[in-house]
């Protein structure tokens, strides 16, 4: 087990905070502005890959649920691997070989899907680091695949011209494996900082609470800060995504330090960084808010992000993953973009480092559509109204279990390079499209339209622009959204 001087690490971190433009207080951090390069982002790739990919059962919470008595994962674990005293979560590490992990191939697939940024999870709740670390031996360079997964992927992503970010879910590790103390298992006794099972305390009843049960210890929060700053220094992510539980009041002093640290480090390089957060863990305006498995119902003046998975049931690979339809994900991408958001779409590779055919298909469908129609969202900005249509989008997180039944009357609008883009989220079989918002005299487009082009097939479209509506007539052989480019006189 690796030992390090925690006090020395904290002292080094404080020096960076003290010497930079940002101090570790909300007033100083409120001078932050979202960088221009982030304003241009529309589509990114999230990656959940780790030791939990080996059992490939239930979901990425297998490390916790395998220790929760009478759960599906608990029963499966005993049946498949034996008693917890004989085979615990740590025993999956040698089985995690990532023998077919090819970061260049990953980057190529993401690039062909037109992803602009890539955010792999560097450390999930299970506490296993997917990168080389000086703070713990339980990392992918020293164990398992014996590869610096994060470092190798960063090189490939940036070589392919995409922005590299990463994600830390370390804070939840405080309680994530604690259920293993409720019965005879390999999680028994005391553990020291740096060990995989440290500290494994009893978890809270309310995971979303900002205080109360399960207060993280001072040593754990200090270690959290040291680990996250190590991640920042080693890989210089331009985007740092945080999952929940950073909203804990006890963590606030360390969270302020972390934010100042990454912003100051970026400033040293003459760059800027972005933090994604949820649950109001960070005061509005200091970072970019994120909506997990959900969207916002209306257009916003500020930048926001939606992160969601390709599957309904899991973020990581499992044998029973239930995949979403590619066209539904594409509709969500367009809807989110029209409301000034960006979509971070998750992929869960198999333990060997390959993607499933379903994941590959989804990215191919998105990439092919963006080949033809990408200018409508990548070379534009949200229009002054995001769209129109009968289908309501429920606001908030964890709404993606209900598939939205979009129609050809559901439109999303964009504008750029002197043109207006209108995207019908579903095609009309007869090729008849009506946009009420664009009525010539009473609507949102009281202008002379010179020409309309369908981006799907690059054909000119016949239209009638009246005081009641804009009527388009064009049949497209597709099951995907239909994008029109309106060229003004």
Tens digit of pLDDT for each residue in 218-260?
999 999 999 999 999 999 999 999 999 999 999 999 999 999 9
Q: In whole angstroms, give the CA distance from residue 341 to residue 319.
A: 32
Of 254, 271, 292, which one is at a domain's C-terminal end?
292
The percent of residues in the chain predicted with pLDDT above 70, rounded, is 100
Half-sphere exposure of 20 (CA within 13 A, CB side): 29
What is residue 458's predicted lDDT score, i.e. its pLDDT? 98
What is residue 448's predicted lDDT score, i.e. its pLDDT? 93
What is the average pLDDT value for the chain, to the nearest integer?
97
Tens digit of pLDDT for each residue in 76-103?
999 999 999 999 999 999 999 999 999 9
CATH code: domain of residue 434: 2.60.40.1180
Q: Does 255 share its domain with 147?
A: yes
Q: What band does 3 get if pLDDT is binned at 50, 70 and 90?
A: confident
Q: In whole angstroms, give the CA distance from residue 280 to residue 136.
A: 30
Of 241, 262, 292, which one is at a domain's C-terminal end?
292
Query: In terms of Cα–Cα distance, which of 74, 123, 327 is closest to 224?
Result: 123
- Per the structure, the count of domains in the chain is 2
Q: In whole angstroms, give the CA distance from residue 249 to residue 245.
A: 10
| 434 within domain boundaries | yes
Three-state DSSP at 277 gives strand
Q: Does 288 share its domain with 385?
A: no
What is residue 247's predicted lDDT score, i.e. its pLDDT? 97
CATH code: domain of residue 196: 3.20.20.80
pTM recorded for the entire structure: 0.98
Q: Does 190 share its domain with 66?
A: yes
| 335 within domain boundaries | no
340 forms beta bridges with: none
Q: Does 254 share its domain with 112?
A: yes
Tens digit of pLDDT for each residue in 420-469?
999 999 999 999 999 999 999 878 898 899 999 999 999 999 999 999 99
Q: In whole angstroms, give the CA distance from residue 215 to residue 204.
A: 9
| 360 within domain boundaries | no
Place of tokens 């210890």: 217
Q: Does 271 share its domain with 388?
A: no
- Domain hosting residue 397, numbered range: 381-488
| 232 within domain boundaries | yes
Q: Does 148 share its domain with 258?
A: yes
Task: For residue 279, give Cα distances in angstroms to 168, 242, 282, 407, 410.
Answer: 16, 11, 8, 32, 30
Q: Does 194 share its domain with 50?
A: yes
Q: In whole angstroms, give the CA distance from residue 140 to residue 132.
A: 7
Of 292, 314, 348, which one is at a domain's C-terminal end?
292
């Amino acid at each position: 087990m690796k030992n390090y001087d925690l006090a020395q690490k904290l002292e080094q971190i404080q020096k960076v905070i003290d010497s930079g433009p940002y101090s570790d207080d909300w007033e100083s951090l409120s001078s932050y502005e979202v960088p221009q390069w982030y304003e241009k982002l529309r589509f990114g790739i999230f990656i959940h890959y780790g030791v939990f990919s080996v059992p490939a059962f239930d979901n990425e919470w297998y490390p916790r649920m395998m220790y929760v008595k009478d759960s599906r994962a608990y029963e499966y674990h005993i049946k498949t691997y034996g008693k917890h005293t004989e085979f615990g979560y740590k025993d999956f590490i040698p089985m995690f070989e990532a023998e077919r992990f090819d970061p260049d191939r990953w980057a190529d697939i993401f690039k062909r899907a037109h992803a602009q940024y890539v955010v792999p999870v560097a450390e999930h709740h299970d506490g296993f680091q997917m990168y080389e670390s000086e703070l713990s031996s339980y990392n992918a360079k020293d164990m398992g695949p014996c590869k610096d997964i994060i470092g190798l992927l960063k090189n490939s992503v940036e070589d392919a011209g995409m922005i590299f970010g990463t994600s830390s879910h370390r804070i939840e590790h405080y309680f994530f494996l604690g259920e293993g103390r409720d019965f005879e298992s390999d999680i028994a006794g005391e553990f020291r900082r740096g060990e995989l099972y440290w500290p494994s305390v009893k978890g809270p009843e309310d995971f979303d609470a900002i205080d109360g049960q399960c207060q993280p210890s001072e040593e754990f929060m200090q270690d959290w800060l040291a680990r996250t700053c190590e991640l920042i220094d080693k890989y210089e992510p331009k985007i740092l995504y945080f999952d929940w539980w950073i909203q804990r009041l006890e963590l606030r002093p360390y969270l302020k330090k972390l934010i100042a640290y990454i912003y100051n480090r970026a400033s040293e390089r003459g760059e800027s960084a972005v933090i994604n957060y949820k649950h109001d863990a960070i005061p509005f305006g200091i970072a970019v808010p994120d909506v997990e498995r959900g969207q916002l119902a209306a257009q916003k003046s500020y930048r926001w992000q939606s992160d969601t998975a390709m599957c309904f049931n899991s973020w990581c690979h499992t044998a029973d993953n239930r995949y979403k339809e590619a066209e539904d994900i594409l509709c969500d991408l367009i809807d989110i973009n029209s409301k000034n958001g960006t979509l971070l779409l998750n992929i869960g590779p198999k333990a060997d480092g390959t993607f499933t055919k379903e994941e590959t298909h989804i990215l191919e469908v998105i990439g092919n559509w963006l080949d033809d129609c990408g200018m409508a969202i990548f070379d534009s900005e949200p229009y002054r109204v995001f769209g129109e249509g009968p289908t309501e989008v429920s606001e908030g997180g964890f709404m993606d279990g209900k598939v939205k039944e979009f129609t050809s009357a559901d439109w999303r609008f964009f504008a750029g390079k002197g043109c207006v883009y209108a995207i019908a989220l579903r095609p009309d079989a007869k090729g008849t499209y009506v946009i009420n918002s664009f009525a010539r005299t009473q609507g949102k487009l009281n202008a002379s339209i010179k020409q309309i082009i369908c981006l799907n097939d690059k054909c000119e479209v016949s239209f009638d622009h009246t005081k009641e509506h804009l009527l388009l007539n064009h049949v497209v052989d597709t099951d995907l959204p239909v994008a029109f480019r309106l060229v003004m006189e």
